[in-house]
Chains A and B, each alone.
Chain A
Amino acid sequence: MKTFLLFVLFMLIALIVIVLAVILGDSGAWYFAWLVGTGMIVLITAAGGAMLDTQEEQAALLKADAQAGARHG
C-alpha cells in the first residue's frame, strides 16, 4: 500500500513538472535547456550511485553491529 501511495505521489509530481514545463516552454530555448538538463541528469544519476554506496555501507554497519551484539549477548 505504501509503495502504491508513493507511486501515485511520484507520478503526480512528474505530471505537475511536465505540465509546468509545457506551460512555460511552448517554443523555448531548447538547446540551452538540453545543455542544462543533461548536466542535471548526469549529476543526479551519479549522486544516485554514490547514495547507493552509502546505503550499502549503512546496511553493512548495521549488520556488523547486529553480529557483534549477538556475539556479546
Chain B
Amino acid sequence: MHDITVVDLSRWQFALTALYHFLFVPLTLGLSFMLAAMETVYVTTGKQIYKDIVQFWGKLFLINFALGVATGLTMEFEFGTNWSFYSSFVGDIFGAPLAIEGLMAFFLEATFIGMMAFGWERMRRGQHLAVTYMVAFGSNLSALWILIANSFMQTPQGAHFNPVTMRMELGSLSQLIFSHDAQAKFVHTSIAGYVTGAIFVAGISAWYMLRNRHMELAKRSFRMAVLFGVLSTAGVITLGDALGFVGGQAQPTKLAAMEGLWKSEAAPMPFNLVAFPSQQDQVNHGQLQVPYALSLLVTHSLDGTVPGVDQLEQQAAARIRNGIPAVEALQTLSSKPGDADALAQFHAHEKDLGYGFLVQRYAQDVSKATDAQIGTAARDTIPQVAPIFWSFRAMVAMGLAMLAYFVLAVIFSLRNRIERQRWFLKLAVWMIPVPFLACETGWLVAELGRQPWTVYELLPTWMSASTHSVGYMIFSLVGFVGLYTVFIIAEMYLMVRAIRQGPQPHDDDAGWDGDPVLGNSASGGRLAGQAEG
C-alpha cells in the first residue's frame, strides 16, 4: 500500500518542476520562429539592422534555451525515480514519444542551435537562415512529442493492457500521434508559445522606446512582434476552443470541474462566469451566469448538454463495481498466468480495470469493498473544482486581454506612431508576465483536471508513485526548490544584464541608432543620395 503523503509529495515535486520548466518552454517555442521571421527579412533585404535584431534576440533566446534544457532534463528522470509504477505500467507507450523527442527533435534542435549561435561568419546568409528555421522546427517538434506523450495520459489511445505482462502495450503509433487531443493540444501549446515570445519581444522593445534607446531595433522588433502576436492569439483562442471540445468529450470530469457543473442540467445550459465552488457541499456560491453560453461553448449547439458531477459520480460507481472483477482476475493471473477463467473474467471487465484500481485504495481486498468505500472512490473521480474553475477563467481572461492588447498594438504600429503612445509602451512592459501566467494556469487546468488519474481511466495517481520514504521526498523536494531558485536568479540576472546592455554596436554599421534606413542598405544609399540632391 502506498503512503499517500509520499504520493502527494511526488505530485508536488513534479508539479513544481513542470511549472518551473514551463516558464522557459513557451518563450523558446515563440522566440525561435520570431527569430526565423526576423532573419527572413535580413536575408531578403540585406539590411544590417535585421542582423543586429536577430543577434540580439538570439542571445536572449540562448539564455532561455539553456535554462529550459537544464530544468527539463530532471523531469525525465523523475518519471523513473518518483513514478516507477507508472513508468513500468505505461513505459512501452509513454517511453516511445519521449525517446523520439530526444533522438529526433532535441538532437535536431541542439545540433543546429550551435550553428545558429556561432555560424554567422562561417555560413552564407541563406544557409544561416535555414539553420535558424531548423532550430525553430526542432524546438516545436520537441514540444510535439512531449505533448503526444501527455495526450496519452489525458485520452489514452493506441494501446491496450496485457494481463500476462501486466502492463500497457503500444498497439498503434498512428493513433497515439494523431489523437484529436494530441493535435489540438500541440497546436494550442505551440501557438501559446508564439504569443509569449511576441509579448516578450514587444515588451522589451517598448522598454527601449520609453528610454529612447536602440529605437530602430525597438520599432522593428515591436512591429514584427505585434503582428506575430495578434495572429497567434487568434490561433490560441481557436485551438483553446477545439481543445475544450475534444477534452469535454474525452474527459467529462475535467470539463465539469472547469465549469463548476455540480448538477446535470437540460439544454441550453448556462455558463458560470463567476462562482465560488464548494467541493464539500457540491454547490457553487455567489454564481453569476450567462444563459445558453455553456451549451454553445462546449457542444457548439444550443441543444447540447454535458453531464454534471452528480451524474458522473453515479457512472463512476457503476464502473467501479464493473472493474472489481477485472482486478480480482488480475490477482489470480499474477499467480496463475494461464488461468483461462481468470483471463475470460478479465476480458469481460477490462474496460473498467482502472476504476477497480480506484477502490483498492480503500479496500485492499476489492471483493470485500463496501458501498461506502465504492462511494468514496467514486467521489474521488471528481478533481478539485475550485482551482481548476478559477485557473481556467484566469487563462481565458488573460487570452482575451492579450488579443485586445495586440489589436491595439497593431493599430499603433501600422500607423508608425507607436513611440508617441507612452502609456501603451508602459502597458506593453507590464504585459510581459501575462502570457507566462496564462501558460501556467492552462497547464494547471490540464493536469489538475486529469486527477485522480495519471492515465485517464486506466491508472490512478495513488498507485503510480514510487515507494520512497517521506523523508526522502521532503529532502529531494527541498533540493529541487533550492536548485531551481538558483536557476531562476541566474536566468533573471543574465536576461536583465543582456537587455540592459542591448545589441552589440559594431564599426561597419553606419546607421546604428542613427538612421538605419540610410545605413548600409542599397535603398538606404539611394535615399541618402536623393536627400542630398
Instruction: Determine if A1 is an interface residue (Cβ-Cβ < 8 Å).
Output: no
In the complex, what residues of A have CB within 8 A of residue B413's CB? 48, 52
Which of B6-14, B330-338, B523-531 is near enough to bind chain A? Answer: B523-531
* CB-based contact B190/A50 at 8 Å: no
* CB-based contact A52/B219 at 8 Å: yes
* CB-based contact B33/A41 at 8 Å: yes
Cα distance, A46 to B227, chains bound together (Å): 9
In the complex, residue of chain A having the shortest beta-carbon distance to the beta carbon of B185: A30
Instruction: Determine if A42 is an interface residue (Cβ-Cβ < 8 Å).
Output: yes
**Complex interface bits, A17-57 against B, C-beta within 8 A gives 1, otherwise 0:** 11001110111111101100110111111101111110111
Instruction: Determine if B44 is an interface residue (Cβ-Cβ < 8 Å).
Output: yes
Cα distance, A33 to B224, chains bound together (Å): 21
* CB-based contact A64/B531 at 8 Å: yes
* CB-based contact A46/B231 at 8 Å: no
* CB-based contact B527/A57 at 8 Å: yes
Q: How far is the CB of A42 from chain B (nearest CB, A)?
A: 4
Instruction: Determine if B348 is an interface residue (Cβ-Cβ < 8 Å).
Output: no
Known interface pairs A10-B410, A22-B242, A45-B228; A50-B234 also in contact (CB < 8 Å) = no
Chain A binding site: helix, strand, loop or mixed by DSSP?
Answer: helix
In the complex, residue of chain A having the shortest beta-carbon distance to the beta carbon of B183: A30
Cα distance, A47 to B228, chains bound together (Å): 11
* CB-based contact A60/B527 at 8 Å: yes
Instruction: Determine if A6 is an interface residue (Cβ-Cβ < 8 Å).
Output: yes
In the complex, residue of chain A having the shortest beta-carbon distance to the beta carbon of B194: A41
In the complex, what residues of A have CB within 8 A of residue B231's CB? 37, 40-41, 44-45
* CB-based contact A60/B224 at 8 Å: no
For A10, give its contact among B47, B227, B239, B407 (CB under 8 Å).
B407
The number of chain A residues touching the other chain, given as a range, is: 35 or more
Instruction: Determine if B274 is an interface residue (Cβ-Cβ < 8 Å).
Output: no
Which of B35-43, B57-65, B448-456 is near enough to bind chain A? Answer: B35-43
* CB-based contact A61/B224 at 8 Å: no
Known interface pairs A42-B33, A45-B37, A45-B228; A57-B186 also in contact (CB < 8 Å) = no
Instruction: Determine if B223 is an interface residue (Cβ-Cβ < 8 Å).
Output: yes
Chain B binding site: helix, strand, loop or mixed by DSSP?
Answer: helix
For B517, give its contact among A6, A23, A33, A57 (CB under 8 Å).
A57
* CB-based contact B37/A49 at 8 Å: yes
* CB-based contact A61/B530 at 8 Å: yes
* CB-based contact A46/B37 at 8 Å: yes
In the complex, what residues of B have CB within 8 A of residue A7's CB? 404, 407-408, 411
Cα distance, A17 to B227, chains bound together (Å): 16
In the complex, what residues of B have CB within 8 A of residue A52's CB? 219-220, 223, 413, 416
Instruction: Determine if B422 is an interface residue (Cβ-Cβ < 8 Å).
Output: no
For A49, give its contact among B36, B184, B224, B238 (CB under 8 Å).
B224
In the complex, residue of chain B having the shortest beta-carbon distance to the beta carbon of A20: B238
Interface residues of B in 177-222 (CB under 8 A from A): 178, 180, 183-184, 186-187, 190-191, 194, 219-220
Cα distance, A10 to B411, chains bound together (Å): 9
In the complex, what residues of A have CB within 8 A of residue B191's CB? 34, 37
Binding site for A on B (CB under 8 A): 33-34, 36-38, 40-41, 44-45, 47, 50, 140, 178, 180, 183-184, 186-187, 190-191, 194, 219-220, 223-224, 227-228, 230-232, 234-235, 237-239, 241-242, 245-246, 300, 403-404, 407-408, 410-414, 416, 515, 517-518, 523, 527, 530-531
Binding site for B on A (CB under 8 A): 3, 6-7, 10-11, 14, 17-18, 21-23, 25-31, 33-34, 37-38, 40-46, 48-53, 55-57, 59-61, 64
27 A-B pairs, CB-CB below 8 angstroms? A3-B411, A14-B403, A18-B241, A26-B245, A26-B246, A27-B245, A28-B183, A29-B183, A30-B186, A31-B178, A33-B187, A37-B187, A37-B231, A41-B231, A42-B36, A44-B227, A45-B37, A46-B38, A48-B224, A49-B41, A50-B41, A50-B44, A52-B219, A53-B517, A57-B523, A57-B527, A64-B527
7 additional A-B residue pairs with CB within 8 Å, beyond A33-B187, A57-B517, A64-B531? A22-B242, A26-B246, A34-B191, A42-B37, A48-B413, A50-B44, A57-B527
